[in-house]
Structure 1
Amino acid sequence: MNGFNEWRVTPSNTAKNTYNPIRAIVDGMKLTPNPEKAMIPLSIGDPTTFGNLPPPQIAVDSIIEGVQSKIFNGYAPSAGYKESREAVAQYLTKNGSRTKAEDVFLVSGCSSAIEHAISVLLDPGDNILIPRPGFSLYRTLCISQGMQVKSYNCLPERMWEVDLSHLESLIDERTKAIVVVNPSNPCGSNFTADHVRDIIEVAKKNKLPIIADEIYAGMTFKPLEFTSCCSQSEDVPILTCGGISKIFLVPGWRLGWVVMHDRKNIFGEEFRRGLMSLTQRTLGACTIVQSILPKLLENADNEYMDKAVGLIQSNAEIAFSRMSNMRGLKPVTPQAAFYMMVGISLRNFPKFKNEVEFTEAMVSEQSVFCLPASCFDYPGFFRIVLTVPEEKLKEACDRMEEFCNANYVP
């Protein structure tokens, strides 16, 4: 008889090694809001939470039209419909890309794009360089697959620019890629063209490809401009990860892309086939959402986007101005995306051992929840989300100021 005499069902190493720092830290926090004050969550990076940032009407109308057409209910090619890939290629030309439809691979959200980019570049035992502070998904994906991560520092005193010397010092023979997140979650930063070129020069010198996480491209605050990695590189091969979730405020629609930029043909056809093979593991992104890409992306630069980004920028200016004058806090000017990082002078708050206890107490005393930046491998700071309605943001600032005044020790 083949088989076993007893059950041997255990979780795989991939499952056991999958760890999300945000969930681990937040789930371990003591979060008991003040019952006399309504909770104001400044922690959730979901622009739909409060209902004040709806998607553009063209997106809603196009989705309804796509469903009613009944022609997008089946499978698409694993890398996406040709017309949809072409729409992404044309859209990215606005950021200085020279992209063809065959360079575009449509996937289920930007998180899936990141997973594809990592999986096509790294084997178990290889390492990848990621920013600190940084979004935790890179660490989660790599460690679960037996890959290693090394975190390079970004500098708050320089608007979160990359510490280039530290970045280069981390490179070894098992390093396979540099991750560049611009604009940044959690920092809300936006790199200048000069700084993007400086990063690319490090990659070129060390013959390393770049994974450019540009999900917040197009969400920079005026008068700043976004600079894509691919627009500045002639020699370094780049995988750009993006999607519609942030620029059109529809994270639940799960449509992203990973795009090859390779002017010197360094990746080669075998690499392209490998990326295509990875898309066959999931059999493609949602066909209904793919179907609206040509119309949606053609109308991306419009009054709707100006209004949405303008609202977030206004909130950023309010929050930065208010928190700059709060005792013991030092915010870093946000330049893009949804976020602002705020430093805490913990020596002036001796009641709290770290920023986790600080943010816990802000919940219990004031019912305002901000994410402790240990979630992003950066203790001593917390992150706030700027997509909240203005009146709630002002109320949250009032409460945070009251909290700081009550707990500050000169």
Structure 2
Amino acid sequence: MLSSRLPKDLSPSPFFAELERAKADVLAECANADALPFIDMTVSSPVKAGLLVDLDDAVDEGRKVFGNWNPDAAGWKSAREAVVEYYRERGGHFTAGQIILTASTSEAYSVLFKTFCDPGDVILTPMPGYPLLDTLAQLEHLECAPYFLKLKRETASSAARSRNDKTPAGKTAKFRFVLDSDSLLAAPEHAKILLLVSPHNPTGHCVSREEWNEAVRFCEENNMILVVDEVFGDYAFSDKVSRTWQYVFGERENVILDLGVPSAIGEGIWDAGGGDFINLPENGPKCPIFWLNGLSKAVGSPQLKLGWMAFYAPRENFEEIRAALEFVEDAYLSVSAPAQALGISLLPKAAAYESKVLDRLQQNWQTLREAFPSKYCPEVLGGWYAVVRLGEDDEELTLRLLREKHVLVQPGFFFDFDEDGWVVMSLLQDPAIFKEAIQRIKQ
């Protein structure tokens, strides 16, 4: 009766069923205690972590258009221009014609899968990685094949560290995750999309220029689409980290004026006709590239359900690809008027919000690095998560930490680590609570 898109067994796995029982036991044990029943180091919602953005002014400002219905497959132009300004403040130079609004990043994946893939095609996803990607592919009758991130030992001295690197003195990172570009060569014939996540969930890996060049070259040679999930893109821990669109467009100043008219026709600006100017470097990559993001992380508001994709394509393919994306979007028109109105009001506040969150992330990262040698706690270049290898069976360790220490972490197997003993922790938790959790884990 049910679709073959769904897993045959929708019940929780034995481990997660046992984890829920352990949570209930701890809650019952602490019912009368004047303390947290357990410290949740898996918290992924900034709302639950107490990192709220002020919505009052945004709601007041946007309320007057909540009742409007002006359907546009790509999203309101005013909302897309707010996204353009978001990138411009960070050194990026997209135009409104390169932005497609979606109801979430997950929906953006769905749109891309519908636009570029046929049933049975393959998506290349990172391992370790976030399991939602496999689910989204399965729901479109697609398959996922892995490429790998591997641990690399660094030899850089303390003096060579970036000036803004927040790694504690005397704790120079010697291990970090890097892209194993050779693993891309095992891609199946029907691979259509290469998915990069930068910063990566959960390892904190960020794509370097060298890794980027290898990924682009691979996509060009195999006629593939390159998709970059950069929902954590604003949360880099070091000035060593670049947003991957900088590798394509560079960091030129004042390419686009406020009215959308190019200040330098011929310097990467393509006239698509009708005053529609697009930033497409003439000698750019030969494969289409999509960058995914949204309000969920940019202003800590997953409940508002507004995401977007910014894209590049060779000039000869751009209009065809844009028309195809808008065809799929037009079938659903899922982005609500309130979400777009709130996006227009909230995106100018994103930098201030991100600065507050980044302070907490870096504080918790330092606490973690001071507690565990880099051999067991690889360097995090950005994002909301960190991983630690504690050398035990990660299922047993996760359950024991919850039952005995009242600390909840994610087991590494959930993210397809190929070795036992890894656990994943969120860096969003309140710093005092985070420090207490780390002390309990060390014990």
TM bracket, shorter-chain basis: 0.7 to 0.9
CA contact (8 A) 1:87 1:297 kept: yes
Aligned counterparts, 1:376-395, within 5 A: 376-378=415-417, 379-380=419-420, 381-395=422-436
Give the CA deviation at 1:99: 2.4
Q: 2:61 aligns with which of 44, 60, 65?
A: 65
Give the direction of change, closer, same or farther, for the CA distance of 1:136–1:339 in structure 2 (3 Å limit): same
| 1:288 equivalent in structure 2 | 338
CA contact (8 A) 2:65 2:337 kept: no
| 1:161 equivalent in structure 2 | 178
Give the CA deviation at 1:95: 5.3
| 1:195 equivalent in structure 2 | 211
Q: Take 2:363 and 2:306, find their aligned partners in 1: how far apart are those partners?
A: 28
Q: Take 1:106 and 1:112, find their aligned partners in 2: how far apart are those partners?
A: 10
CA displacement, residues 319-375 of structure 1 (integer Å, 9 cap, x when unaligned): 1221339xxx811122211100111323xxxxxxx2111101111111101001211
Q: Take 1:318 and 1:94, find their aligned partners in 2: how far apart are those partners?
A: 31
| 1:340 equivalent in structure 2 | 386
Deviation larger for 214-223 or 177-186: 214-223
Q: Take 1:20 and 1:208, find their aligned partners in 2: how far apart are those partners?
A: 35
Give the partner amino acid of 1:66: G
Aligned counterparts, 1:399-410, within 5 A: 399-402=440-443
Give the CA deviation at 1:254: 1.0
CA contact (8 A) 1:18 1:141 kept: no
Identity %: 23
Give the CA deviation at 1:162: 0.9
Give the direction of change, closer, same or farther, for the CA distance of 1:64–1:373 in structure 2 (3 Å limit): farther
| 2:241 equivalent in structure 1 | 225
Aligned counterparts, 1:9-408, within 5 A: 10-16=1-7, 26-29=16-19, 30-32=21-23, 34=26, 35=29, 38-51=37-50, 53-55=51-53, 57=54, 59-67=55-63, 69-74=64-69, 76-94=71-89, 97-157=92-152, 159-167=176-184, 169-229=185-245, 231-232=247-248, 234-235=284-285, 236-266=287-317, 268-302=318-352, 304-324=353-373, 330-346=376-392, 354-378=393-417, 379-380=419-420, 381-402=422-443
Give the CA deviation at 1:230: 6.4
How many residues are paired up?
Answer: 375
SS of residue matched to 1:383: strand
Give the partner amino acid of 1:179: L
CA contact (8 A) 2:401 2:441 kept: yes
Structure 2: gaps spanning 5 or more residues? 31-35, 153-174, 250-283
Q: Take 1:382 and 1:265, find their aligned partners in 2: how far apart are those partners?
A: 46
CA contact (8 A) 2:106 2:136 kept: no
Q: Take 1:386 and 1:97, find their aligned partners in 2: how far apart are those partners?
A: 27
CA displacement, residues 19-71 of structure 1 (integer Å, 9 cap, x when unaligned): 799x88534535245435721011131122131x121x3x441123212x254
CA displacement, residues 224-280 of structure 1 (integer Å, 9 cap, x when unaligned): 4332246437113102111111121111111101222113433x4333222112212
| TM-score normalised by length of structure 1 | 0.83
CA displacement, residues 137-184 of structure 1 (integer Å, 9 cap, x when unaligned): 2211112322111111101336221100011x2223211010010011
Q: Take 1:299 and 1:317, find their aligned partners in 2: how far apart are those partners?
A: 27
Give the direction of change, closer, same or farther, for the CA distance of 1:119–1:152 in structure 2 (3 Å limit): same
Give the direction of change, closer, same or farther, for the CA distance of 1:132–1:111 in structure 2 (3 Å limit): same
Give the partner amino acid of 1:54: L
Q: Take 1:20 and 1:310, find their aligned partners in 2: how far apart are those partners?
A: 39
Give the CA deviation at 1:80: 1.1
Q: Which runs of 4+ in 1 moved over 6 A?
A: 18-21
SS of residue matched to 2:342: helix
SS of residue matched to 1:159: strand
CA displacement, residues 79-138 of structure 1 (integer Å, 9 cap, x when unaligned): 211111122133234556542212211111111112212221211111111001111122
CA contact (8 A) 1:113 1:242 kept: no
| TM-score normalised by length of structure 2 | 0.78
CA contact (8 A) 1:242 1:258 kept: yes
CA contact (8 A) 1:196 1:227 kept: no
Give the CA deviation at 1:288: 1.4
Give the direction of change, closer, same or farther, for the CA distance of 1:19–1:375 in structure 2 (3 Å limit): farther
CA displacement, residues 265-308 of structure 1 (integer Å, 9 cap, x when unaligned): 33x43332221122123313121121133343334334x43222
SS of residue matched to 2:290: strand
SS of residue matched to 1:245: helix
SS of residue matched to 1:212: strand
Q: Take 2:302 and 2:93, find their aligned partners in 1: how far apart are those partners?
A: 27
Structure 1: gaps spanning 5 or more residues? 1-9, 347-353, 403-410
Give the partner amino acid of 1:277: F
Q: Take 1:237 and 1:70, find their aligned partners in 2: how far apart are those partners?
A: 34
Q: Take 1:324 and 1:106, find their aligned partners in 2: how far apart are those partners?
A: 42
Q: Take 2:11 and 2:248, find their aligned partners in 1: how far apart are those partners?
A: 33
Give the partner amino acid of 2:192: K
Give the direction of change, closer, same or farther, for the CA distance of 1:341–1:318 in structure 2 (3 Å limit): same
Give the partner amino acid of 1:384: M
